Amino acid sequence: MSNPSPSFSHLGRNVGKVAVIGSGQIGPDIALYFTKVLSPFGTKTVVVDISAPALEKGKAKLQKKIQKGVESGAFTPLQQTEMLGHVEFTTDYDAIRGADLVVEAATEDKALKRRIFAQVEALAAETAIFASNSSHLEPEEIFADVKRKGRAAVVHYFFPAERNPIVEVVPGSHTDRAVTDWLLSFYEAIGKVPIEVRSRYGYALDPIFEGLFQACALLAQDGLATTRQIDAVVAKALGMTVGSFTAMNLTGGNPITAVGLDNYTSKINRWFATPQILKDKLSRKEAWDVPARGEVVEIPDALREQLTRLLRGAYFGLVCEVLDAGLVDLSDFDMALEIALDMKPAFRFMNELGTAQALKLVEEFRARYPAFVLPKSLAAKGARNEPWDVRNVLRKDHGRVAVLTIRRPKVLNALDQGVFDEIAARCNEADADPKVDAIVLVGHGRKAFVSGADVGFLAKITSVEHGTRTSAASQRSLDVVAACRKPVVCAMNGLAFGGGNELAMACTLRVAKKGLPVLACQPEVNLGIIPGAGGTQRLPRLVGIAKAAELMRSARPISSADALATGLISEEVEDDVCARAVEIARELAAGRRERPRFEAGPMRDVPTSLPAIEIGHRSKAVDAILVRAILDGCRLPLAAGLALEARCFGEVCGTQDMRIGVKNFLENGPRSKAAFVHA
């Protein structure tokens, strides 16, 4: 488990010590995450607070959560020992010395935060980066007295900080661009999902969380429904696990929300204001009356419909106001709403309903509360019923190399047809762009390049014909990647399963993170299907028929070292795999490196049969179709072999075992063995 490296190194900056200031509600959780991901590198985490009781409470909280992790199997006892051995709780501010990153997580008090950073600046090294886990305050306000403002920014965590992956990275007007870029990259590298947000009070997400709560509170205050009824409706209407009132009870959010709403009045618009019903709750120190877990609240149908329309209108209006303010990228925002706030992603939701209908709902809410702002962006989209452009494949140019990042963190970047289509569209755009010489494909995060095809997408296949069309559509997207005139380098930053490995194989060449015990796998037979995005044809042409067939029939994963030895990848990368892929892309584009040749014709010496192998519990019927796809397809030119694969995939979709396998996966997870009937 331990790494001999003395510290975590990222983009030229070593992180040997992280200091977390504040052992209140969120500081210990931030420290828990740091020690979990950084202790294997020898990095130490110190939690500093002037209150000894707060430190004891925070330490006990961290220890309890780690122990629960051991009991659930999330951590091994060795990990527990390592994590606890690399975290320290202390009242001694001198422990900050030597910290490379300082994260302040104190109370939301501007004067207090300024005092803390004055003290920190006197102790920390010149190279240390300062971050404030503020939920509202502008970085310009927090860091007003810091001498070197360029190294300081807000990094806003969400509850619970050790599990919720979203962080808002909010640079101030004086923050160095290099610091912002490093923070975004660092948090992604340690498993978080960072989004960049422009400085404004409350940033991008809290005005939604608190604004929606305000809408709920106003409806209750007006006597339209009880808090219990509204809580039940808002959860269902917006796809939330719990309603807004329950969320306030769980997070203890009433006091900070009251302060936030009153500040929004002057800093955002005059609709925002603390409702009297919230002031009353605060004065009486009462929790909100909410449904018990699993309780069914009786609500007349007409009232349910009215509340649903009003609350959706409030939600859509709030998110579009943030978009109008230019605070955040639309695709970043939509993803963060779903993950951080556990809500239906607003812009995709509006696309489902139609933006004309979304506009109508906002207008209905505004008719009840005239101070509510009608966002210009939604007015324009809704007038034309034009959908929002929400992307899962993001492009960022590194000089003359277009880096395309597949980002679906909730499903480890899994592919559905929409993502396949986006990959093709982004590749076509980059291939046609005269400012681009080469393309790199990479997955978001540190765990996966692409974890495979979204099984929910496969479950919707209803017939042999539907299966054939689905396979052919996936192939068409990857054919676009393979046909790019410019080199396409795949940066396999994590596991590439199923469709992820098929996507990688469509690229000019592939490089992978060094030392991955599991890199690539074609696990389709575990689900009662076969590769359908080119795997039966491209894998044999890269690693040979015998090896490819064994991997596909057994669903055996291979390591990055094995992938290099078999020829699936051309290089293992010690450090930043994406940066290395960009270097190689430039070499290919400039002709300093020979572009690998991919055999598009029939393969030579295709055997008449494949050796028998042990396929275990897997379907014999599916195996027979897979063997036919491999052997018959490899005797054909690549294009004809792919067409055969699509027909074979469709044939598999007509089997009982395909239904059994997909159903078992969805109900019992990937580790459960399906009870195939071999038919």
For the stretch 299-320, pLDDT in tens is 999 999 999 999 999 999 999 9
User: Which tens digits make up the pLDDT trace of 479-532?
Assistant: 999 999 999 999 999 999 999 999 999 999 999 999 999 999 999 999 999 999
Judged by DSSP in three states, 265 sits in helix
**Residues 6 or more apart in contact with residue 601 via CB below 8 angstroms:** 637, 638
CA trace torsion 312, 316, 318, 322 (10° rounding): 160
Instruction: Report pLDDT for 3.
Output: 44
Judged by DSSP in three states, 156 sits in strand
Q: What is the C-alpha separation between 421 and 393, in angstroms, rounded?
A: 10
Q: Where does the pLDDT of residue 4 fall: very low under 50, low under 70, confident under 90, or very high at 90 and above?
A: very low
Contact 654, 530 (CB under 8 A): no
The residue-averaged pLDDT of 19-40 equals: 97
Domains of the chain: 8-196 (3.40.50.720), 206-384 (1.10.1040.50), 393-668 (3.90.226.10)
The residue-averaged pLDDT of 572-586 equals: 95
**Is 80 exceeded by the pLDDT of residue 415?**
yes
Q: What is the C-alpha separation between 483 and 49, in angstroms, rounded?
A: 58
Say how many C-beta atoms besides its own lie within 10 A of residue 325's C-beta: 15
Contact 29, 73 (CB under 8 A): no
What distance, in Å, lies between the first and last C-alpha atoms of the chain?
44
Q: Where does the pLDDT of residue 6 fall: very low under 50, low under 70, confident under 90, or very high at 90 and above?
A: low
pTM of the complete model: 0.92
**Is 70 exceeded by the pLDDT of residue 178?**
yes
17 phi and psi angles, rounded to 5 deg = -145, 135
Alpha helices in 190-329 (DSSP H): 206-221, 227-237, 244-251, 254-267, 276-284, 301-324
Please give the distance of CA 111 from its chain centroid, rounded to a whole number. 34
Residue 202 per-residue DSSP state:
T
The residue-averaged pLDDT of 172-196 equals: 97
The residue-averaged pLDDT of 8-37 equals: 96
CA trace torsion 364, 369, 373, 379 (10° rounding): 10
Q: What is the C-alpha separation between 29 and 301, in angstroms, rounded?
A: 42
**Token pair in block for residue 568:** 């699936």
The residue-averaged pLDDT of 362-389 equals: 98
586: nearest Cα among 486, 510, 443, 484:
486
DSSP assignment of 401-432 equals EEEEEE--GGGTT-B-HHHHHHHHHHHHHHHH
Tell me the average pLDDT of the chain.
Answer: 96
487: nearest Cα among 575, 609, 594:
594
**Is 90 exceeded by the pLDDT of residue 127?**
yes
**Is 90 exceeded by the pLDDT of residue 251?**
no
Contact 193, 411 (CB under 8 A): no
Identity of the residue numbered 629: A
Cis peptide before 160 (omega within 30 of 0): yes
Contact 610, 630 (CB under 8 A): yes
Identity of the residue numbered 295: E
**Is 50 exceeded by the pLDDT of residue 161?**
yes
Contact 441, 488 (CB under 8 A): yes
Question: What is the SS3 string spanning 514-554?
Answer: CCCCCCEECCHHHHCCCCCCCHHHHHHHHHCHHHHHHHHHH
**Is 50 exceeded by the pLDDT of residue 1?**
no
**Residues 6 or more apart in contact with residue 447 via CB below 8 angstroms:** 191, 412, 494, 495
Q: What is the C-alpha separation between 14 and 17, in angstroms, rounded?
A: 9
Distances (CA, A) of 489 to 47, 394, 405, 510, 543: 42, 16, 12, 6, 18
Identity of the residue numbered 297: V
Q: What is the C-alpha separation between 442 and 390, in angstroms, rounded?
A: 19
**Is 50 exceeded by the pLDDT of residue 259?**
yes
Q: Where are the beta strands (DSSP E) in 52-187?
A: 87-90, 101-104, 129-132, 152-157, 166-171
Q: What is the C-alpha separation between 364 and 343, in angstroms, rounded?
A: 21
User: Which tens digits make up the pLDDT trace of 80-110?
Assistant: 999 999 999 999 999 999 999 999 999 999 9
Contact 113, 86 (CB under 8 A): no
Instruction: Report pLDDT for 2.
Output: 42
Identity of the residue numbered 574: E
**Residues 6 or more apart in contact with residue 566 via CB below 8 angstroms:** 543, 544, 547, 558
Paired residues of 450 in beta bridges: 496
Say how many C-beta atoms besides its own lie within 10 A of residue 567's C-beta: 13
Q: Which residue's structure tokens are 């990990």? A: 79
